Amino acid sequence: MVARTQAAKVGLFVALAGAAGVGIYRFVSPQVAGGQGYTVHAYIQDATGLAPRSRITIAGIPVGSLDSIRLENGAARLDVKVKNDVILYDNATLGKKSASLLGESVVVLTPGTPDHRKLQDGDEIHVIVDQTTPGEIMDEMKEIADSVKAVASQLANSVGTEQGGQNMRAILRNLADSTDALNGTIRENREVIRDTLRNVDSIMQNANPEMSQILENVRIITQDVRELMASQNGEPGDAGSLRQTIERLDRASKSLESTMEHADSVSGRIDRGEGTIGKLTKDDALINEVQGVAEGVNDYVSNIVRLQTIVGLRSDYNFLANTLKTYVSLRLQPREDKYYELELIDDPRGFTSITDTSVDTTNQVQGPSHYRTITTTTTEQFRFSLQFAKRFGPFTGRFGIKESTGGVGLDIHLLQDRFEIVNDLFGFSEEVQPRYRVFISYEFIKHLWLLGGVDHLFLATERDYFLGLQLRFSDEDLKTILPFSGAAAAAH
């Protein structure tokens, strides 16, 4: 009767845990919760910052997710899954936009116009909108800096050397020789110049009546303009408009003169190497330092984009202890072959510590003069794990802190990493013998794992058997806040 009751409890727990796991999974991963929608694809030349399950937006509103990214015919093929109620037409556009300073990007769509054909499942978006990336801007800045550096170097080589000084002296000497030659030419042609001036004077005398008429016309025109400018009661657009136009021209000329003076001052400062831009054009060490900082920022952003953040939610039922053990884990995986895992455990059996005390006494009436006391203390507190893992082929080795004690582990991955055999050896300070736990886990539904194994394998009095479920998924949004969490913690 007791066995049937325990079996019924186990069956009820498995059913409830399965329902809860599927419910949580549907809440966390929309792809498992039905995946309703249709898929279109497009080809772009640069998919930097994009990852599977990246957001798809129209006018800043999420309308789907990036189903997959793969290389096809030298370009990045994006399979975009959008909701059924979002209608795309044949002239829809697709582009990539930066979503944060860390390099994460989102796919931006425009639906097109209803006078075109509606896109169906499997169709291609042909209109791609390219945007200038920060890397291209930095490359252009580098080319400009190299050009300025080359010009400065050529100028220094031309004037700043002894040969350059000799060339400048030669130019001045040639100018002096040209001036002497011109002076000699004028002396030699003095009579010709006198005759030319006499002829001009004769022409002016003969043209005196015509010149008088021209001057009279100029006087009349000037008088008319003066009367027009002095008029205050004319029609709109006559005197007032003309005066305003001239005043605006005067102000514009003064503003242009001021602007040219300012530009000349700025150019002079840059040429003398003053200010940030001036130093940037003159100081090679500063140019190299700026380039090094830009490369460092680019490497840092690339590492953040490459980082995978995997969240795990797990519950185990221990059959003999009749308790439920809960795990919450966060795995930071910068590369495919290594990761760091932080784990928080709620164990109903608590945390056990052993204290070994040696006592020497002179009172031999009540007992021996030397004896030892071993105190075992169990407290109800959370345990934590912090381990570093490195993968070699199908094997992954781990070491660090396991459930608040030192420990090591070995994982074996099979069936394309959907089947795992996990071994943990830890708890060296809790018992005389270390605590050895082994279990197997299988991903029977995407992101949902079924686990079963033995705990305290070396210690018969503490040995127990457990069965559990784990929800394991990648949270792409979590990695965007990790660089700022350290700064926030330091501020407090």
Q: Which residues pair with 327 in a beta bridge?
A: 314, 345
Half-sphere exposure of 242 toward its Cβ, with a 13 Å CA cutoff? Answer: 12
How would you classify residue 437: left for phi > 0, otherwise alpha for psi between -120 and 50, otherwise beta?
beta
Report if residue 98 sits inside a domain: yes
Give the domain-ending residue among 115, 131, 147: 131
Q: How far apart are the first and last CA of the chain?
A: 57
Out of 23-32, 85-94, 220-229, 268-277, the most confident range is 85-94
Taking only the tens place, the pLDDT of each residue in 373-417 is: 666 666 656 888 999 999 999 999 999 999 888 899 999 999 999
Global pTM reads 0.39
- Structural domain including 56 reads 38-131
Torsion of CA 363, 367, 371, 377, to 10 degrees: -110
Give the pLDDT band (50/70/90) at residue 362: low
Helix (H, G, I), strand (E, B) or coil at 7: helix
Give the domain-ending residue among 76, 107, 131: 131
What is the CATH classification number for the domain harbouring 369? Answer: 2.40.128
Report if residue 319 sits inside a domain: yes
The residue-averaged pLDDT of 233-257 equals 68
What average pLDDT is seen over the chain?
78
Q: Indicate if the pLDDT at residue 51 is higher than 80.
A: yes
Report if residue 10 sits inside a domain: no
Report if residue 213 sits inside a domain: no
Give the domain-ending residue among 131, 163, 181: 131
Q: What is the pLDDT of residue 391?
A: 94
Q: Indicate if the pLDDT at residue 329 is higher than 70.
A: yes
Report if residue 250 sits inside a domain: no
Domain tally for the chain?
Answer: 2
Report if residue 385 sits inside a domain: yes
471 phi, psi to nearest 5 deg:
-105, 120
Q: What is the pLDDT of residue 207?
A: 65
Question: What angle (nearest 5°) sits at the alpha carbon of residue 225, between those of residues 223 and 226?
Answer: 65
434 phi, psi to nearest 5 deg:
-65, 160
Report if residue 26 sits inside a domain: no
DSSP 55-73: EEEETTEEEEEEEEEEEET
| CB contact at 8 A, 464 and 320 | yes
Report if residue 391 sits inside a domain: yes
CA distance 289 to 468: 54
Half-sphere exposure of 113 toward its Cβ, with a 13 Å CA cutoff? Answer: 1
CA distance 375 to 359: 13
Taking only the tens place, the pLDDT of each residue in 420-436 is: 999 999 987 666 678 89
- Of 428, 446, 426, 422, the residue nearest 316 (C-alpha): 422
